[in-house]
Structure 1
Amino acid sequence: MRSLTQLLVLLALVAPWQGGLLQAQARGDERGFTSAVSQRLIDEYSRRFGAPARGRLEAWKRYAAQRKGSPGAEAELLVEVNRTLNRIQFVDDQTHWGEADYWATPAESVASNGGDCEDFTIAKYFLLKELGVPISRLRMTYVKAIRLNQAHMVLAYYPKPDAEPLVLDNLEESVRPASQRRDLVPVYSFNDEEVWIEARGRSGSPKQIRNWNLLLERLDKEMRT
């Protein structure tokens, strides 16, 4: 989790985009998907994170493959994915990665069995995207966590563009409507295609977010492994 000061710095990086919205990669993009995790990447992460990483990555890939073949209501899928990925241990970036702020790829989070709120949110976003949930319904959302007095990230799911979102949070097993999460005050959100700042509505492209660009670079590297 971040301090509120760090969140304000992030907001400064998400200024309105002057050239119009930039589009994300083609919708066929499999970066961050379990299907993009090769045997070579599993071998590499087993060396990097230890032998148990192999079993974690293979179980993650099996889960996604099985879930793709078992269609069901998206609401049920949200609960299942939230609960499944919340089994990863919470570890702050400085302790886990030796950096003040590091956005791990889903494979890194699963293989290392650790991550912070951004990493949980990113992993849920990409898994739900892989399982067929439209990008338009998903937003990675920075909030002010009132009880913790900290910035925090959650995944918001919008069944319709103007609907009340459901909140997937690493601090809670349940998936609840935003109206039942009075402890969270949204600040800004984004997905592959757009950024929304709470006070302004749509405000630009995620390509303005430095950590998102670095994450995509690491995902590209994983795809080449």
Structure 2
Amino acid sequence: MPGRLRHFSSCVFAIVAVSLAMTVTWAASERWEFDRIIGRVERQYGDLEAVRLRLLAWESLLRDSAGLDERQQLRAVNNFFNLQLRFGDDQTLWRQADYWATPVEALRIGAADCEDYAIAKYLSLRQLGVPSSKLRITYVKAVRLNQPHMVLTYYERPDAMPLVLDNLVGGILPASQRSDLVPVYAFNGEGLWLPGARGDKQVGDSKRLSRWQDLLKKMHAEGFPAGSGF
């Protein structure tokens, strides 16, 4: 997220105060039909072999990871997107200051900003059946880079130390070993949290996040089923 540090202090207020967006719901339990999804991509952008191969690799990841335990699924999904996608900032990739790409958009161009990595990992793990209560897309300040950043965090139990899935670090580490990250807010398909001395405090739901709702609408247009909540 280079170039956006000047907006950092106002991000929490802007996210919490954003007006209620149209509700878009999602069914993580419905099987994704990749033939349909790939067909829509090819009709819109042409029959590009590299894009098809990346999308088929994503389908294979989900199929092959379905029988693994959650820790193994975390590693498989984290490694897949960290290896498949090169980093690029939103201005370079999308000619916008802040753009949340769907996993299909990121895989189509083979590149992603930090929030795109976190979103793709979150949606993939939800499709594999990991409960949303265990997953949060977490907006942080990357201290060493002195800039905003986004990661995915996994809570094995509500009171557990979260594990951090990050495109900057290959391995999955507990948050206690990521002193370079300072949490600002977190969200998933059900809620919005702010950090506090006594633990994170839920302050709303993700329906207040207009960019998240827009992203789910884009996925529905790409051929993903709409349903009952990601």
Q: What TM bracket, shorter-length normalisation?
A: 0.7 to 0.9
- Please list every run of 5 or more consecutive structure 1 residues that lacks an aligned counterpart in the other structure: none
> Is the alpha carbon distance of 1:223 and 1:15 closer, same or farther for their aligned partners in structure 2, counting shifts above 3 Å?
same
| TM norm structure 1 | 0.86
RMSD across aligned C-alpha pairs, in angstroms? 2.8
Matching residue within 130, 135, 140 for 2:137: 140
Shift of 1:210: 2.2
CA contact (8 A) 1:16 1:203 kept: no
CA contact (8 A) 2:139 2:150 kept: yes
Counterpart residue identity of residue 125, structure 2: L
Identity percentage of aligned residues: 41
Matching residue within 75, 78, 85 for 2:81: 85
User: 1:75-224 residue pairs with structure 2 within 5 A?
Assistant: 75-87=71-83, 88-199=85-196, 201-223=201-223
SS at match of 1:86: helix
Structure 2 distance, partners of 1:18, 1:55, is 39
Shift of 1:72: 2.4
The equivalent residue for 2:55 is 57
Q: Deviations over 1:125-151 (max 9, x none)?
A: 001111111110000000011000011
Shift of 1:46: 4.8
Structure 2 distance, partners of 1:101, 1:131, is 28
Structure 1 distance, partners of 2:18, 2:209, is 11
The equivalent residue for 2:37 is 38
Counterpart residue identity of residue 37, structure 2: S
**Total equivalences in the alignment:** 219
SS at match of 1:15: helix
> Is the alpha carbon distance of 1:116 and 1:63 closer, same or farther for their aligned partners in structure 2, counting shifts above 3 Å?
same
CA contact (8 A) 1:17 1:203 kept: no
> Is the alpha carbon distance of 1:59 and 1:224 closer, same or farther for their aligned partners in structure 2, counting shifts above 3 Å?
closer
Is 1:74 the equivalent of 2:73? no
- Please list every run of 5 or more consecutive structure 2 residues that lacks an aligned counterpart in the other structure: 226-230
> Is the alpha carbon distance of 1:26 and 1:221 closer, same or farther for their aligned partners in structure 2, counting shifts above 3 Å?
closer
| TM norm structure 2 | 0.85
Counterpart residue identity of residue 201, structure 1: K
Shift of 1:10: 2.7
Structure 1 distance, partners of 2:72, 2:104, is 23
SS at match of 1:155: strand
Counterpart residue identity of residue 209, structure 2: I
The equivalent residue for 2:228 is none
Structure 2 distance, partners of 1:36, 1:214, is 23
SS at match of 2:184: strand
CA contact (8 A) 2:19 2:208 kept: no
SS at match of 1:38: helix
